[in-house]
Amino acid sequence: MTAADNAQLLADEARYCSFGDTVHYVNPPKIFSGCEGSYLFDEAGTPYLDLQMWYSAVNFGYANPRLNEALKRQIDTLPQIASQYLHPTKIELSKMIAQDAQAKWGRPGRVHFNVGGSQSIEDSLKIVRNATQGKSLMFAFEGGYHGRTLGASAITSSYRYRRRFGHFGDRAQFIPFPYHFRGPKGISKEEYGEQCIAQFARLFESEYNGVWDPKVGEAEYAAFDIEPLQGTGGYIVPPPNFFKDLKKVLEAHGILLVVDEIQMGFWRTGKLWSIEHFGVTPDILVFGKALTNGLNPLSGLWAREELINPTLFPPGSTHSTFNSNPLGTSLGLEVLRLGEDMQYEKTVPEKGAHFLAGLRDLQKRHREIGDVDGLGLALRAEICMADGFTPNKALLDRMVDIGLAGELEHKGRPIGLVLDVGGWYKNVITLAPSLDITPEEIDLAIGLIDQCLTKAKRDLGASAS
Ligand SMILES: Cc1ncc(COP(=O)(O)O)c(C=O)c1O
């Protein structure tokens, strides 16, 4: 593709494509034409090291040969079939997820598919309402993100996603999350977690706090939707006991726990599910994204038997044409087998520690990096003013543009860097590299972030500090 072709495509996009189905963070939007491993390639063949991997949908690297082969095999055997008929990989994948959940949490359950994370969140809302005789009120966290369909955006903290569309249902009650770096000063992460739980538990102290009827022992709220690590909220890792303490309050008041693993699932944090780090059992667990390594929009949920058995939740409770499509389920099955073979439980924490050490080193050289943290290969770096605290969105936006210009340098050759912006103040680099990233690529990543930050500071001059 020539530069002229590229320019024509951008002009046509501006004229014919809705902007509403994308986010258009960079201007002009970037066109890529190839991908492999940890890299995207532009029309000139310049490689871009991708540190976000399609918001963690491509955990196993672009064009992963084993997963691409599984897709091709399925295309040659049973590429399509209506979802009222059965096919082997739907059943095998469900069994594998349900047996794994039962082994981990001692609870039988079932798996339910849909297409797209938000759609599976919608399904979880239906299961919750159905099992609680129509209770529609939910708790969710400040900073939480669960998608942009109508139901999912009602439990997503940002009003921005609801503002222009009115209300189609009840908006969640949003509860403080222990975002320690920006929390009250002088207390530990653990203490801040305890404070947030105490604040939540207070709601149940008296009927006059608005959510609890002590006479019958019933809460007005059906469930609490959580992300174990906040994804879009900036890869915030809560203290280790936080969810155990939360679960105690929920159990005492008959409130279900819905765990959203759409972004942090499939070994992103070193475990199949990120909630496994926190020692609590979900009632419903929702997954998507890396289930198919981004090759098919399949998503799904696991729910415990009491909530999803066919008597309570019969055929037709939710249905969509492409649910449990065989290309998606064959990929999901291969992803789970690959995950076991690759021993990500061992390699991801090691690679994560290497990456985090590199970020900490970089932090020593740039006072604009206010906080770094991570769990496995879900890592964060907050870009701030020179005080190391005040959020500096402009500086990070400049870094993103510099990375996407593809004019950084590695061994005398041009190279680009794909960074994603997240966080409550849109000043956090949310890092989700390929789980197969090599140690050399991790060192390269640190070097390229260094180059981007150095150039961005120079470009913005005094305004950066
Ligand atoms: C935690 C979480 N939940 C839900 C969603 C929505 O998934 P989708 O974009 O596939 O609808 C996302 C997407 O980023 C997510 O990160």
What percentage of the chain exceeds 70 in pLDDT?
99
Q: Using a 6 Å cutoff on CB, does residue 227 contact ligand 1?
A: yes
How far, in Å, is the centroid of ligand 1 from the Cα of 34? Answer: 24
CA separation, residue 134 to residues 141, 214, 221, 250 (Å):
22, 20, 11, 18
Q: Please answer whether residues 76 and 261 qualify as being in contact, where contact means their C-beta atoms are separated by less than 8 angstroms.
A: no
The residues with which 391 forms a beta bridge, in sequence order, are 384
Q: Using a 6 Å cutoff on CB, does residue 334 contact ligand 1?
A: no
- Using the atom order of ligand 1, give the atom closest to the CA of residue 119: 11
How far, in Å, is the centroid of ligand 1 from the Cα of 445? Answer: 25
CA 241 to chain CA centroid, Å, is 21
Q: Using a 6 Å cutoff on CB, does residue 117 contact ligand 1?
A: yes
Q: What is the pLDDT of residue 177?
A: 98
Q: Which of 55, 118, 125 gets mutated to test ligand 1 (max ligand atoms within 8 A of its CB)?
A: 118
How far, in Å, is the centroid of ligand 1 from the Cα of 14? Answer: 26
* Lowest model confidence (mean pLDDT) among 29-33, 102-106, 392-396: 29-33
Q: Give 305's contacts (C-beta < 8 A, 6+ positions apart).
A: 107, 108, 109, 110
Tell me the mean pLDDT in the region 55-67. 98
How far, in Å, is the centroid of ligand 1 from the Cα of 147? Answer: 5
pLDDT tens-digit readout, 363-404? 999 999 999 999 999 999 999 999 999 999 999 999 999 999
Burial degree of 327 (CB within 10 A; 0-12, 13-18, 19+): buried
How far, in Å, is the centroid of ligand 1 from the Cα of 148? Answer: 8
Q: What is the pLDDT of residue 110?
A: 98
pLDDT tens-digit readout, 71-90? 999 999 999 999 889 999 99
In this model, does residue 151 exceed pLDDT 80?
yes
Does the pTM exceed 0.95? Answer: yes
Q: Which of 161, 263, 268, 286 gets mutated to test ligand 1 (max ligand atoms within 8 A of its CB)?
A: 263
HSE at residue 150, side-chain half, CA atoms within 13 A, is 7
Q: Using a 6 Å cutoff on CB, does residue 232 contact ligand 1?
A: yes
Tell me the mean pLDDT in the region 282-287. 98
What percentage of the chain exceeds 90 in pLDDT?
93
- Using the atom order of ligand 1, give the atom closest to the CA of residue 232: 16
Q: What is the pLDDT of residue 75?
A: 98
How far, in Å, is the centroid of ligand 1 from the Cα of 462? Answer: 37
Q: Using a 6 Å cutoff on CB, does residue 235 contact ligand 1?
A: no
In this model, does residue 142 exceed pLDDT 80?
yes
| Helix (H), strand (E), coil (C) string for the chain | CCHHHHHHHHHHHHHHCCCCCCCCCCCCCCCCCEEEECEEECCCCCEEEECCHHHHCCCCCECCHHHHHHHHHHHHHCCCCCCCCCCHHHHHHHHHHHHHHHHHHCCCEEEEEEECHHHHHHHHHHHHHHHCCCCCEEEEECCCCCCCCHHHHHCCCCHHHCCCCCCCCCCCEEECCCCHHHCCCCCCHHHHHHHHHHHHHHCCCCHHHCCEECCCCEECEEEEEECCCECCCCCECCCCCHHHHHHHHHHHCCCEEEEECCCCCCCCCCCCCHHHHHCCCCCEEEECHHHHCCCCCEEEEEEEHHHHCCCCCCCCCCCCCCCCCHHHHHHHHHHHHHHHHHCHHHHHHHHHHHHHHHHHHHHHHCCCEEEEEEECCEEEEEEECCCCCCECHHHHHHHHHHHHHCCEEECCEEEEEECCEECCCCCEEEECCCCCCCHHHHHHHHHHHHHHHHHHHHHHHHHHC
Q: What is the pLDDT of residue 2?
A: 82
Q: Output the average pLDDT for the chain.
A: 96
Supply the residue whose CA is at minimum distance from atom 16 of ligand 1: 263
* Lowest model confidence (mean pLDDT) among 28-37, 277-286, 418-427: 28-37
Packing angle, helices 88-105 and 326-342, rounded to 10:
40
Q: Using a 6 Å cutoff on CB, does residue 403 contact ligand 1?
A: no
- Using the atom order of ligand 1, give the atom closest to the CA of residue 149: 11
In this model, does residue 463 exceed pLDDT 60?
no
In this model, does residue 462 exceed pLDDT 80?
no
410 pLDDT tier (thresholds 50, 70, 90): very high
